[in-house]
Chain A
Amino acid sequence: MTFAAYRGLFKTVVKEDMLNFFGDSMPSAVVTLVHCLVTVSIYAAVQKTLFYGIFSWGMMVWYLIFAQVILSAGKGIIKEINADIQTGAVATAMSKPYSYPLSLYATFLGSIPMELFGTLLIVIPFGIFMGGAMLQAHAILFGVLLVFFAVTINFLISLCIGMIAFWTEDADPYMWLYSKLMFLVGGMFFPLDVFPATIGVIVKALPPAFIIYYPAKLLVKFSWSEFLYVAGMQLLYIALLSSIAYLMFKRATKKVMVNGG
C-alpha cells in the first residue's frame, strides 16, 4: 500500500471527470448557481440589511456563494458507499491492496477539481455582478486551506454515515438528516450570527459550523486570530472523526455481506 495508489485513484477520477465535464460537472455547476441565485435574491429582496454590522452586502453575497460551493464539493460520496454495499461492488474495492476508506477519500478529492472549476467558472461572474469584486488575495490563499479541511470533515462525517449501510444496508435516511442539519446549523442559508447568544455558542462549536460557516466567513472577512482558531478546531475534528471512521470500518469489515453472488 503506497501513496501512489491513492494518487493514482485521484488522477483517474480527475481524468474521468474531464471526459464528462460538459455532461456532469457543468450541469452540477448550474445547479449550484441556481442555489446561489435563489439565496442571494431572497436576501436582496427581503433581508438586505439583516447582517449589516457583521457583513456588508458584498460580503453577504460572497458568503452565500462560498457556502454553496463548499457544500457542493464531492456530494456523491454517501451514494457511492451505499451503492457499493448494496450492489456488492465493495468486494471489488476490498480485493485491492489499499484501505477502502482512504481509497474513497482519494476518489472524493479527485471528484472536486473539475466540479470546482466548472462551478467557479459560472459563479464568479455572478458574484462580481451581484456583490462586486471585493475579495482579498490573502483571505483566498489561507481560506483555501480551511476549505480543504472543511471538505475533509464533510467527507469523514459522510463516510461514517455511509458506513452505517454495512449494518442497515441503506444509509440514505441518515444522510437526509445530516443534510437538514447542515441546512439549519451549518450556515448554508444564513451566517450563524443570526442565532441568540446561548444557542449561537453551541451551534458555532459543532462540526457543521467548521464545514460551512467559518471557512465561508473567513474567505470574505479574514482575521488571523479567527483563522488560527478555526484551523485548530478543524484539525481536532478531523482527528476525532478519523478515529471514529477507523473504528467503524474495523467493525464494518466483519459485517461485509456481498449481495448478489
Chain B
Amino acid sequence: MTDAIIVEHLHKTFKTKVKGGGFAASVRSLFNPEYKTTRAVDNISFRIPRGQLVGFIGPNGAGKSTTIKMLTGILYPDQHANLTVSVLGMTPWIERKKLAYRIGTVFGQRSQLWMHLPPQDSFDLFAAIYSIPEDTYRKRLKHLVETFEIQDLLTTPVRKLSLGQRMRCELVAALLHDPEVLYLDEPSIGLDILAKKALRDHIKRINAQGVTVLLTSHDLDDIEEVCDRVIIINSGHIVHDSSFDELRKSYLQKKLITVHKRKQAKRLELQGVHIAHDDKDVTKLVVDTKVTDIHTVLSAVAAHYAIDDIEIADPPIEEVIEEIYRRSA
C-alpha cells in the first residue's frame, strides 16, 4: 500500500510578542519588544498509508492543528536539513493550489459555508472553485445530499442550522470535489451526543469509500469509534503511535461511569471499582477493567442503583498522556 502522507522531521516554531500588564510595560514593549518562541511542532515523523483512518489527538495547544495546516500547505514549516513532507506526492507549501484539488478540509471552529446563504449556494460556489463539470457536480451533490441526509437543509440559511446540521453540510462541501485525503480538524467540537454519533458514522462511511482521513480531536471517544490507528501528540512531540486496540490494552484500562440516580443507594462495593464521587443524585465510578470487566460492573450497577441515566467514558486525553509519560520515565 502506498503512503498518502509522509512526514519526516517536521518542525514549526512561532514567535510571539510578549508584554507584561500595565502602561509601563506597554511603553517598554514599544521601544524594546520581547518575543517568546514557541515550538508548536518539534521534530515529528509519521506515514499514513492510502485509505487509512488515523486519529491525531492531543490536548489543546499540542500541535495538532498546526500539523494539519502544514499538511494542507497553509503554513510553512521551519526549514530543516532532513525535512520531508509529501501529501499525495506533493510538497504542500510549494504546490498548495495543485494539492487543494485533491484534499478536503473541515475546520470545526471555522465554517467554509456562507453564513447568510443556504448551503446550496456554497455548494454551487465550491463546484466553480474546484472546476467540477456541471454533470458530475449534480450527480455527486445528489449522492452526498442523500448520504448525509441534508435534503431539507439545502434552502435554509447556514446561520439558522444547528451545529450538527452545519457540520454535515461542511462535510458535503469538503467532499464535493472527491478528495483523496480528508483532514478533519476537531469536527465534533460543540456537538451533542447524537450529532457526534451521526458524525462518526459519516466519517466511517467516507473512509469506507477509500478516502484517507486524518481526524484531530481531543475527545478519545471520537477516535475509539472510528479510527484504525491513533497518533498522540503533546507539546509538539509524538508520544504514542499505534492501533487503538493497542492503546486500549496499554493505557485505557480505566473507564469512567457516571450514574444519575432516581433515589439514594448504599455505596457499591466491587473489586476494581473506585467511587470517585457520590451524592444523592449522582455517583461517579472509576473502573479498572484489568480487575473487573466492564460488563460485570454494568450488571452490578444496574442491579444496585435505580438508574435514571448512565454515561460511560474513557479517561480524558490528558490522563492518558500523563500515564504514557509516567511509564516511559
Q: Is B248 an interface residue (CB 8 A)?
A: no
Q: Per DSSP, are chain B's interface residues mostly helix, strand or loop, or mixed?
A: mixed
Asked whether A239 is an interface residue with its Cβ less than 8 Å from the other chain, the reply is: no
A5 to B66, CA, bound (A): 27
Interface residues of B in 160-203 (CB under 8 A from A): 185-186
Distance between Cα atoms of A1 and B131 in the complex (Å): 8
Complex: chain A residue closest to B60, CB-CB: A261
- B25 in the interface, Cβ–Cβ < 8 Å? no
Given contacts A9-B125, A20-B116, A92-B112, contact A2 B14 (CB under 8 A): no
With A97-B101, A256-B76 known as contacts, the answer to whether A91 contacts B110 (CB < 8 A) is yes
Shortest distance between the CB of B317 and any CB in chain A (Å): 15
Cβ distance A167 to chain B, nearest Cβ, rounded Å: 11
Name B112's closest neighbour in chain A (CB-CB).
A92
- A195 CA / B49 CA spacing, docked (Å): 69
Is A72 part of the contact surface with B, judged by Cβ < 8 Å?
A: no
CB <8 Å contact, A96 and B100: yes
Most buried by A among B97, B128, B130: B128
Contact residues in A for B109 (Cβ distance below 8 Å): 88, 260-261
Knowing A92-B110, A261-B65, A261-B109 are in contact, say whether A5-B75 is a contact too (CB < 8 A).
Answer: no
A residues near B73, Cβ cutoff 8 Å: 94-95
Q: Are A97 and B98 in contact (CB under 8 A)?
A: yes
Q: How large is the interface on A (under 10, 10 to 19, 20 to 34, 35 or more residues)?
A: 20 to 34
Interface residue ranges of A70-98 to B (CB < 8 Å): 87-92, 94-98
Question: When chains A and B are docked, how far (Å) is the Cα of A88 from the Cα of B105?
Answer: 14
Residues of B within 8 A of A92 (CB): 105, 107, 110-112
Residue in A4, A8, A91, A253 whose CB lies within 8 Å of B76 = A253
- Contact yes or no, B69 A91, CB < 8 A: yes
B96 within 8 A of A: yes
- B129/A5 in contact, CB under 8 A: yes
Known: A94-B96, A253-B76, A261-B109. Contact between A8 and B128, CB under 8 A? Answer: yes
The reply to whether the CB of A254 lies closer than 8 angstroms to some CB of chain B is yes
Known contacts A15-B117, A15-B121; decide if A4 and B128 are in contact (CB<8 Å).
Answer: yes
Residues of A within 8 A of B121 (CB): 12, 15
Contacts of A1 in B (CB 8 A): 97
Q: How far apart are the CA atoms of A141 and B97 in the complex, in Å?
A: 38
Contact pick for B14, options A7, A16, A98, A257, CB 8 Å: A257
List, in ascending order, chain A residues with CB within 8 A of B105's CB: 92, 95
Give CA–CA (A20, B109) in the complex, Å: 25
Quick one: which of B72, B117, B131 contacts A95, CB cutoff 8 A? Answer: B72
- How far is A91 from B127 in the complex, measured between Cα atoms in Å? 19
B125 surroundings in chain A (CB, below 8 A):
8-9, 11-12
Given the complex of chains A and B, what is the CA–CA distance between A98 and B129 in angstroms? 7
Q: Is the C-beta of B124 less than 8 angstroms from some C-beta in chain A?
A: yes
Measured between beta carbons, the chain A residues less than 8 angstroms from B186 are: 261
B74 at the interface (CB under 8 A from A): yes
B114 CB-CB contact with A under 8 Å: yes
Q: Is the CB of A254 within 8 A of B76?
A: yes
Q: Contact check, A95 vs B74: say whether CB atoms are below 8 A apart.
A: yes
When chains A and B are docked, how far (Å) is the Cα of A53 from the Cα of B73? 59
Residue A258 CB within 8 A of the other chain:
yes
A97 with B117: CB separation less than 8 A:
no
The interface residues of chain B lying within 8 Å CB-to-CB of A261 are 60, 65, 109, 185-186
For residue A103, which residue of chain B has the nearest CB?
B129
- Which residues of the partner chain A approach B60 to less than 8 Å between Cβ atoms? 261
Q: Which residues of A contact B75 (CB under 8 A)?
A: 256-258
In the complex, what residues of B have CB within 8 A of residue A30's CB?
A: none
The reply to whether B74 and A97 form a contact with Cβ atoms under 8 Å apart is: no
Q: Which residues of A contact B (CB under 8 A)?
A: 1-2, 4-5, 7-9, 11-12, 15-16, 19-20, 87-92, 94-99, 253-254, 256-258, 260-261
Q: Using CB atoms and an 8 Å cutoff, list the residues of chain B in contact with chain A.
A: 14, 60, 65-66, 69, 72-76, 93, 96-98, 100-101, 103, 105, 107, 109-112, 114, 116-117, 121-122, 124-125, 127-131, 157, 185-186
18 contacts between A and B (CB under 8 A): A2-B128, A4-B128, A4-B131, A5-B129, A8-B124, A8-B125, A8-B129, A9-B129, A15-B121, A90-B74, A91-B107, A95-B72, A95-B73, A95-B103, A97-B129, A98-B129, A256-B74, A261-B109
Report the 9 A-B pairs with minimum CB-CB distance, sorted nearest first: A8-B128, A97-B100, A5-B129, A4-B128, A261-B65, A97-B97, A8-B125, A95-B105, A94-B74
